[in-house]
């Protein structure tokens, strides 16, 4: 594995290659700041497999550097781990929003860093479904290189992160910060119809439009969200939503009714969504991610069932 570690502290830059060598990671490179890191990425004959970023650096901090790295096509999916002494909720949130996959507090334990690098590499490698390419010539509706349930890595949406990264964010939150968080699921009412009657490019574009509409409707600058597959999005806000969940649902459905890519006779009318009532993340750290996501998805399903019964 080829690793690039960026830290303005010369002691850390000397330490990391030595300690990684103890676990047979010998291809470790270092940079003393953002500009040096971007230069190293540009000049590397082969891309790096993993990046370690310090958050607190002069001129260009790790958050800004992470954003710039994610804008590089070769590093859109590369595991990025943040190493920092800052563990407040705002710092953690900003790191994940910038594109980090994990967040490790200093002083760190080598064994922990090594295991989390391996986990990030393995999960990201196996969780990326095949996406439609601009050069694809297959345009037959309902024929896709991915399943409806696949957690597609959508791009071009602010504060939309991978499910794996969202799970790491949830895990990082201290118990005292959980009560200030709200987790909600916003789900398409009939994603199967869209999947069956659209091309792959149209399906991904519609999901992206919906994600942007969610960002606009929730209107929370600190929200993080991820696409969970089957037309469902999980949203986490560090404070209560600015508007009640039912108002957000109404606003979203009004927006979707006017969206040209989300309407049409072939879709039997405009798409609609259900917004589940918000929940607080589970306190148990080891089971927090699965239990929280499952509960949020269940709330959206209950909301859809309620609307169907009242129709």
Return phi, psi of residue 236, to 5°.
-125, 125
pLDDT reported for residue 131: 64
State how beta strands 182-188 and 232-237 pair: antiparallel
For residues 112 and 92, the answer to whether their CB atoms sit within 8 Å is: no
Tokens standing for 244?
């009640």
pLDDT reported for residue 225: 95
For residues 95 and 85, the answer to whether their CB atoms sit within 8 Å is: no
Tens of pLDDT, residue by residue over 114-140, are: 788 777 777 666 656 666 665 554 568
Long-range Cβ contact pairs of 209-213 (< 8 A, separation 24 or more): 209/259, 209/261, 209/262, 210/256, 210/262, 210/271, 210/273, 211/154, 211/157, 211/160, 212/156, 212/157, 213/252, 213/255, 213/256, 213/259
Across-strand partners of 80?
A: 51
Query: Cβ atoms within 10 A of the Cβ of 126, count?
Result: 7
- 96 membership: H or E segment, kind and range: helix 89-98
Rounded distance between C-alpha atoms, residue 125 and residue 127, angstroms: 6
10 Å CB burial of residue 38 (0-12, 13-18, 19+) is: middle
pLDDT reported for residue 136: 54
Tens of pLDDT, residue by residue over 274-299, are: 999 999 999 888 899 999 999 999 99
Length of the chain counted residue by residue? 311
Rounded distance between C-alpha atoms, residue 218 and residue 147, angstroms: 28
Tokens standing for 54?
């310090």
Tokens standing for 250?
């109404």
Rounded distance between C-alpha atoms, residue 284 and residue 276, angstroms: 22
- 111 membership: H or E segment, kind and range: helix 110-126
Rounded distance between C-alpha atoms, residue 104 and residue 133, angstroms: 34
pLDDT reported for residue 186: 97
Query: Cβ atoms within 10 A of the Cβ of 238, count?
Result: 17
CB contact set of 141 (below 8 Å; sequence gap of 6+)? 196, 197, 198, 199, 202, 266
Residue ranges for the chain with pLDDT beneath 70:
123-139, 240-243, 259-269
Predicted structure pTM score: 0.87
pLDDT reported for residue 265: 42
């Amino acid at each position: 594995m080829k690793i690039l570690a960026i830290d303005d502290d010369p002691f850390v830059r000397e330490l990391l290659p030595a300690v990684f060598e103890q676990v047979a990671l010998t291809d470790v490179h270092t940079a003393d700041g953002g500009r040096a890191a971007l230069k190293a990425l540009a000049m590397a004959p082969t891309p790096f497999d993993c990046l370690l970023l310090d958050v607190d650096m002069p001129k260009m901090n790790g958050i800004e550097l992470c954003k710039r790295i994610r804008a590089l096509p070769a590093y859109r999916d590369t595991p990025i781990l943040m190493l920092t002494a800052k563990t407040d909720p705002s710092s953690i949130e900003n790191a994940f929003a910038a594109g980090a996959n994990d967040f490790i507090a200093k002083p760190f334990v080598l064994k922990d860093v090594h295991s989390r690098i391996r986990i990030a590499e393995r999960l990201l490698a196996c969780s990326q479904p095949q996406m439609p390419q601009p050069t694809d010539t297959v345009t037959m509706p309902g024929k896709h290189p991915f399943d409806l349930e696949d957690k597609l890595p959508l791009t071009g949406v602010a504060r939309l992160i991978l499910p794996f990264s969202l799970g790491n964010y949830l895990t990082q939150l201290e118990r005292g910060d959980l009560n200030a968080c709200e987790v909600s699921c916003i789900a398409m009412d009939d994603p199967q119809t869209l999947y069956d009657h659209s091309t792959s490019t149209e399906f991904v574009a519609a999901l992206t439009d919906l994600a942007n509409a969610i960002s606009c409707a929730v209107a929370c600058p600190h929200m993080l969200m991820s696409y969970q597959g089957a037309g469902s999005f999980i949203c986490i806000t560090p404070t209560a939503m600015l508007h009640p969940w039912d108002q957000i649902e109404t606003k979203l459905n009004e927006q979707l009714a006017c969206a040209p890519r989300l309407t049409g006779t072939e879709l039997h009318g405009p798409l609609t969504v259900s917004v589940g009532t918000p929940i607080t993340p589970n306190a148990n750290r080891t089971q927090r991610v699965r239990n929280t996501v499952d509960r949020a998805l269940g709330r959206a399903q209950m909301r859809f069932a309620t609307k169907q019964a009242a129709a």
